[in-house]
Amino acid sequence: MKCRVCRQPAVIDVPRHNANFCGPHFLDMCRRQVVKAIEDFDMLAKDDRILIAVSGGKDSLAVWDILLDLGYEADGLYIGLGIGSYSDVSGEYARAFATERGLKLIEVSLRDEYGYDVPTATVATRRVPCSACGMSKRHLFDKAAIDGNYSVLVTGHNLDDEAAVLYGNTLRWELEYLARQLPTLPARNGFPKKVKPLVRLSERETAAWCVIRGIDYLVDECPIAAGNRHLGFKDALNTIETQSPGTKTAFYLNFVEKVAPLLAAYALPDDVELRPCRECGSPTTGEVCAFCNLVAKSADHEPVPVELITGRGARRR
């Protein structure tokens, strides 16, 4: 195989573009896709104060690296979720990336600062683990962005992530979720602006970016997420993608362009009445926000080792 651009030996084939690339021209393709996402969806300006949610995995380190490469300045935010050695190692990758490049990495530990971890919250609240984890992360991302006066919060969600969520929400016709599944969510009601610059890159492409750029990241899968519904949706979409390259791109990007505008009426209105949470001050519709409810239930619970809930991500809600 030869690179489509320079005819030198290719290192990767990208069937959805019907193209093969050498390392440098693959990186150029990735940069172009991210720039197009940023421009098309009004994500970032060069003078934005950017906070990137960093897990130590390929997507968050790739998006940090790409944004720096494109000339943006960005700090990182790592949340210690307390998922046993998986979290310990993920933190090491995030810290190493930041330290080697002289970047600022803000760290928050669920156990040290809020008295619980994801395994304990799962048992204490009887939630699906990925639900307790996702809710905790979203709250702390928002809080760190607001408290730190960042103008935009960046996450490393890629095309596969977005297509899988879209697939799941479509199978159940979850119109409210569909209406707000957008690559850019503007700041509103005390929540920060949130953007996903990797939505035009597949998971295989963000991993390839890291390999070519020599970025060490945590390859191992979260032990709790193994077998969850989200991964099943990704498998199903990749089976279709192999037979019909470009399907994931068309499914997601055509949804954003053609369908999401039709669903706007189902989204939570901007003028919905929110009040400050009695405990933490974050905007909420009730007296106490969902995060503070979770903390209240989890913080007094005896710590639960991750081994007790491994594979629970597969359990249905």
Give residues in contact with other proteins (CB under 8 A): 1, 10-13, 15, 20, 23, 55, 57-59, 130, 133-134, 160-161, 164-165, 202-204, 206-208, 211-212, 219-222, 225-226, 228, 230-231, 234-235, 238-239, 241-242, 313
Secondary structure of the chain as H, E, C letters:
CECCCCCCECCEEEHHHCEEECHHHHHHHHHHHHHHHHHHCCCCCCCCCEEEECCCCHHHHHHHHHHHHCCCCEEEEEEECCCHHHHHHHHHHHHHHHHHHCCCEEEEEHHHHHCCCHHHHHHHHCCCHHHHHHHHHHHHHHHHHHHCCCCEEECCCCHHHHHHHHHHHHHCCCHHHHHCCCCEECCECCECEEECCCCCCCHHHHHHHHHHHCCCCCCCCCCCCCCCHHHHHHHHHHHHHHHCCCHHHHHHHHHHHHHHHHHHHHCCCCCCCCEECCCCCCEECCCCCHHHHHHHHHCCCCCCCHHHCCCHHHCCC
User: Which residue, 15 or 286, has its beta carbon nearer to other proteins?
Assistant: 15
Q: Report in angstroms how near the CB of residue 228 gets to other proteins at its nearest.
A: 5
User: Which residue, 151 or 247, has its beta carbon nearer to other proteins?
Assistant: 247
User: Which residue, 60 or 298, has its beta carbon nearer to other proteins?
Assistant: 60
Contact assessment for residue 121 and residue 132, using Cβ atoms and an 8 Å cutoff: yes
In whole angstroms, what is the distance from residue 185 CA to residue 268 CA? Answer: 12
User: Which residue, 260 or 277, has its beta carbon nearer to other proteins?
Assistant: 260
Q: Report in angstroms how near the CB of residue 39 gets to other proteins at its nearest.
A: 26
Q: Report in angstroms how near the CB of residue 77 gets to other proteins at its nearest.
A: 15
Q: Report in angstroms how near the CB of residue 255 gets to other proteins at its nearest.
A: 17
Q: Report in angstroms how near the CB of residue 214 gets to other proteins at its nearest.
A: 8
Q: Report in angstroms how near the CB of residue 135 gets to other proteins at its nearest.
A: 11
User: Which residue, 50 or 222, has its beta carbon nearer to other proteins?
Assistant: 222
User: Which residue, 192 or 223, has its beta carbon nearer to other proteins?
Assistant: 223
Q: Report in angstroms how near the CB of residue 302 gets to other proteins at its nearest.
A: 26
Neighbours of 48 (CB within 10 A): 18
In whole angstroms, what is the distance from residue 209 CA to residue 15 CA? Answer: 16
User: Which residue, 121 or 277, has its beta carbon nearer to other proteins?
Assistant: 121
Neighbours of 203 (CB within 10 A): 19
User: Which residue, 72 or 233, has its beta carbon nearer to other proteins?
Assistant: 233
Q: Report in angstroms how near the CB of residue 177 gets to other proteins at its nearest.
A: 11
